[in-house]
């Protein structure tokens, strides 16, 4: 059972619990005075009903983006179980609770120089294979116009140029997160559990009952599920109804491929007993009846979750997007490729109203119904929804994930021979997706994890008539963890790319047992060596340096690790290729967008275990300084 009076905790643990229970932004995301006040206030605080049970936005931006959150720490601690991981944990905690980078303080600088901006005295990683390194560059009209030595740069610029002396720091192209799911959700009570914390059914029942006792009927109650709860059959509609007959309750799975709702939530989300399964998903039912038991999977939960997200106001969405953008700037992320559960038209409204300092590619993520996939969504709205935001691409989910053993392996799971996973769509339906992509001239993204789902996708691409240049059309496979060596060769011949999520490699207690230790899974270096174009997305914690650490260590399959240069290229120019912008961004070369991050440490020389501590101290988007943690970098030319 969950204790009402926790034992006395260490100071870091107290701060972590404050974030979880009181739903404040983490300390690294606060201004210095707010951080001090948070620490001082903590000593006056008592854990209890007045904290986690208050109504707040249900999913906070920091769940995806906080630089020190306990979620990140828990991933490292629980999913790698190593001395190295504990070293990372202790280092990350020290670095990110210290306000060393000025806290959450975005500084937008109007260009003071008439002609442009120059960065000098740096260690500039261009991302180009021929000219890998330089030490200075010039920016004019939002583009890089020259890359060379500091001496050459200073000779070329005039007195009306702004000069930034980065004092030997590492300079990289702005990071491009090619796969994330930012979704602003409405207000309610968030149960104090995290998807990386495994708690039992009895504990969850107690928390639901407590939330009900502290809130009026009709208040949304939200819970996140880890592996244990996703696979807990007692967590269903009827048990939740018993605890919360007058409160809508929704549980979202760690992977968002399984949700659980009670009767009150079903009514608000448009679900009824007897509803037929949608194409690509299914409802669990009481055996021998049409009655839904509240557990909904794959495309059965797409439409209800989108309706849930639609309850968020435009103003709430704008606030969430701005918080997310602030976190991105602190990490040196200049582009996001987002697949939101918010319907695309409403998300476009939020984007247009937010006026963000980063670039966002919003990808259509449509639902399906009993009659088939819903194809029309989002094609009646403008492609450009703001100076730095656009709508582009469409994504379909071909199978689930290995977490809930829903990825379609085509053979039994090694740790549970009773299941093989399942494909959401037939080969004929996948063929229709390809035809639609060609007819609409819209890039297609296919989530495929299991070997069988990948085989269906690859075979459909190989047999498509007329023959297409799928690489030029921007087709991507997301995740591709179950690729075999033979399939890797076929993917290479097709010219398509893979967007991987290295932070998932930390889940070695999932990968090996599910796939089987004697088979290939979660390839990364093999893909790179074969010549397949690779991009990287977070698909979870936004901190890109956790992803880079996972790429260069690959705890689940160390032989598939890559060096830091290869990983960074995938996170910059590779991800730019994944959005069809390979010739425009992702490299620090003349003619490319001036999207740049100046880092707090040299990621090319530090121990990989220290990578998660890295932050950007200066972030530039389209030649404009949009975040700066150290104004002393700005100087005039000598």
Cβ contacts of 322 within 8 Å, gap of 6 or more = 354, 356
Least confident of 84-98, 135-149, 577-591, 623-637: 84-98
Cβ contacts of 204 within 8 Å, gap of 6 or more = 191, 193, 223, 229, 235
Give residue 51's pLDDT: 63
Least confident of 58-72, 141-155, 522-536, 564-578: 58-72
Angle, helix 314-331 to helix 344-354, in steps of 10 degrees = 70
Question: Using an 8 Å Cβ cutoff, are 444 and 433 in contact?
Answer: yes
pLDDT in tens, 520-553: 999 999 999 999 999 999 998 899 999 999 999 9
Question: Using an 8 Å Cβ cutoff, are 343 and 306 in contact?
Answer: yes
pLDDT in tens, 4-33: 333 333 333 333 433 433 433 444 444 444
Interatomic CA distance for residues 288 and 493, integer angstroms: 48
Mean pLDDT value across the chain: 84
pLDDT surpasses 70 at 43 = no
Interatomic CA distance for residues 235 and 207, integer angstroms: 13
Give residue 302's pLDDT: 84
How sure is the predictor about 273, in pLDDT bands with cuts at 50, 70 and 90? very high
Q: Give me the half-sphere count of Cα atoms (radius 13 Å) on the Cβ side of residue 503.
A: 25
Reduced to 3 states, what is the DSSP secondary structure of residue 54? coil
pLDDT in tens, 84-109: 433 333 333 222 222 222 333 444 44
Give residue 92's pLDDT: 33
Higher local confidence (pLDDT), 586 or 8: 586
Question: Using an 8 Å Cβ cutoff, are 514 and 405 in contact?
Answer: yes
How sure is the predictor about 194, in pLDDT bands with cuts at 50, 70 and 90? low
Give residue 196's pLDDT: 61
Q: How many residues would you count in the chain?
A: 638
Interatomic CA distance for residues 482 and 16, integer angstroms: 35
Long-range contacts of 127-131 (CB under 8 A, 24+ apart): 127/172, 127/173, 127/568, 127/569, 127/572, 127/573, 127/586, 127/587, 127/588, 127/589, 128/587, 128/588, 128/589, 131/589
Higher local confidence (pLDDT), 527 or 355: 527
pLDDT surpasses 90 at 205 = yes
Cβ contacts of 124 within 8 Å, gap of 6 or more = 133, 134, 135, 136, 137, 147, 171, 588
Interatomic CA distance for residues 526 and 524, integer angstroms: 5
pLDDT surpasses 80 at 210 = yes
Question: Using an 8 Å Cβ cutoff, are 437 and 443 in contact?
Answer: yes
Reduced to 3 states, what is the DSSP secondary structure of residue 146? strand
Cβ contacts of 587 within 8 Å, gap of 6 or more = 126, 127, 128, 173, 572, 573
Give residue 224's pLDDT: 82
Helix ranges, 507-543 (H):
508-515, 525-530
How sure is the predictor about 330, in pLDDT bands with cuts at 50, 70 and 90? very high
pLDDT in tens, 423-477: 999 999 999 999 999 999 999 999 999 999 999 999 999 999 999 999 999 999 9
Least confident of 20-29, 220-229, 259-268: 20-29
> Cα 541 from chain centroid?
6
Give residue 567's pLDDT: 98
Give residue 635's pLDDT: 79
Reduced to 3 states, what is the DSSP secondary structure of residue 380? coil
| Domains of the chain and CATH, by start | 1-98 (no CATH), 116-174+630-635 (2.30.40.10), 186-311 (3.10.310.70), 393-585 (3.20.20.140)
Measuring CA to CA, how many Å separate 484 from each of 293, 451, 525, 585, 617?
37, 7, 13, 32, 41
Higher local confidence (pLDDT), 572 or 23: 572
Q: Give me the half-sphere count of Cα atoms (radius 13 Å) on the Cβ side of residue 604.
A: 14
Identify the sign of the CA torsion 389, 391, 394, 395. positive
pLDDT in tens, 487-506: 999 999 999 999 999 999 99
Instruction: Work out the widest C-alpha separation in the chain, in whole angstroms.
Output: 82
Higher local confidence (pLDDT), 44 or 426: 426
């Amino acid at each position: 059972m969950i204790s009402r009076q926790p034992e006395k905790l260490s100071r870091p643990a107290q701060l972590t619990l404050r974030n979880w229970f009181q739903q404040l932004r983490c300390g690294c995301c606060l201004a210095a005075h707010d951080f001090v006040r948070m620490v001082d206030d903590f000593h006056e605080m008592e854990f209890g009903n007045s904290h986690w049970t208050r109504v707040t936005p249900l999913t906070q931006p920091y769940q995806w983006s906080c630089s020190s959150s306990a979620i990140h720490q828990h991933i490292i601690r629980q999913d790698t179980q190593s001395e190295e991981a504990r070293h990372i944990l202790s280092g990350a905690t020290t670095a990110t609770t210290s306000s060393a980078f000025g806290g959450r303080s975005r500084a937008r600088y109007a260009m003071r120089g008439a002609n442009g901006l120059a960065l000098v005295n740096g260690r500039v990683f261009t991302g180009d294979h021929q000219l890998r390194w330089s030490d200075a560059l010039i920016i004019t009209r939002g583009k890089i116009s020259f890359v060379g030595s500091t001496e050459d740069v200073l000779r070329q610029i005039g007195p009306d140029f702004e000069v930034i002396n980065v004092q030997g720091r590492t300079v990289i192209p702005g990071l491009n997160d090619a796969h994330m799911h930012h979704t602003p959700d409405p207000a309610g009570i968030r149960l104090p559990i995290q998807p990386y914390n495994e708690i039992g059914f009895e504990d969850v029942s107690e928390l639901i009952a407590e939330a009900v006792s502290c809130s009026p009927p009709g208040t949304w109650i939200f819970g996140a599920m880890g592996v244990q709860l996703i696979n807990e059959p007692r967590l269903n509609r009827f048990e939740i109804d018993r605890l919360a007959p007058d409160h809508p309750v929704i549980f979202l799975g760690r992977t968002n491929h399984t949700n659980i709702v009670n009767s009150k939530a079903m009514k608000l989300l448009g679900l009824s007993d007897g509803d037929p399964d949608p194409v690509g998903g299914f409802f669990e039912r009481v055996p021998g009846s049409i009655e839904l038991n509240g557990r909904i999977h794959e495309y059965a939960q797409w439409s209800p979750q989108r309706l849930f997200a639609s309850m968020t106001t435009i103003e709430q969405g704008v606030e969430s997007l701005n918080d997310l953008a602030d976190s991105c700037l602190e990490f040196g992320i200049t582009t996001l490729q987002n697949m939101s559960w918010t319907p695309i038209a409403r998300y476009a409204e939020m984007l247009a109203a937010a006026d963000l300092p980063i670039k966002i590619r919003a990808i259509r993520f449509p639902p399906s119904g009993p009659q088939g996939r819903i194809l029309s969504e989002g094609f009646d709205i403008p492609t450009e929804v703001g100076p730095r935001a656009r709508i582009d691409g469409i994504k379909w989910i071909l199978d689930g994930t290995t977490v809930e053993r829903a990825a379609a392996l085509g053979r039994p799971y090694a740790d549970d021979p009773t299941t093989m996973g399942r494909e959401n769509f037939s080969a004929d339906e996948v063929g229709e997706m390809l035809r639609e992509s060609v007819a609409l001239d819209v890039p297609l993204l296919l989530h495929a994890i299991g070997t069988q789902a990948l085989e269906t996708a690859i075979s459909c691409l190989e047999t498509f008539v007329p023959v297409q240049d799928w690489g030029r059309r921007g087709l991507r496979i997301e995740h591709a963890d179950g690729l075999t060596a033979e399939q890797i060769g076929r993917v290479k011949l097709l010219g398509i790319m893979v967007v991987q999520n290295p932070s998932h490699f930390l889940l070695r207690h999932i990968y090996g047992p599910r796939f089987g230790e004697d088979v290939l899974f979660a390839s990364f270096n093999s893909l790179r060596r074969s010549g397949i174009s690779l991009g990287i997305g977070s698909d979870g914690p936004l901190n890109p340096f956790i992803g880079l650490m996972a790429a260069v260590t690959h705890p689940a399959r160390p032989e598939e690790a890559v060096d830091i240069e290869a990983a960074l290229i995938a996170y910059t120019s590779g991800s730019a290729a994944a959005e069809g912008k390979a010739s425009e961004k992702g490299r620090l070369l003349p003619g490319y967008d001036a999207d740049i991050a100046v880092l707090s440490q040299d990621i090319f020389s530090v121990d990989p275990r220290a990578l998660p501590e890295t932050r950007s101290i200066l972030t530039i988007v389209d030649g404009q300084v949009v975040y700066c943690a150290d104004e002393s970098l700005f100087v005039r030319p000598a």
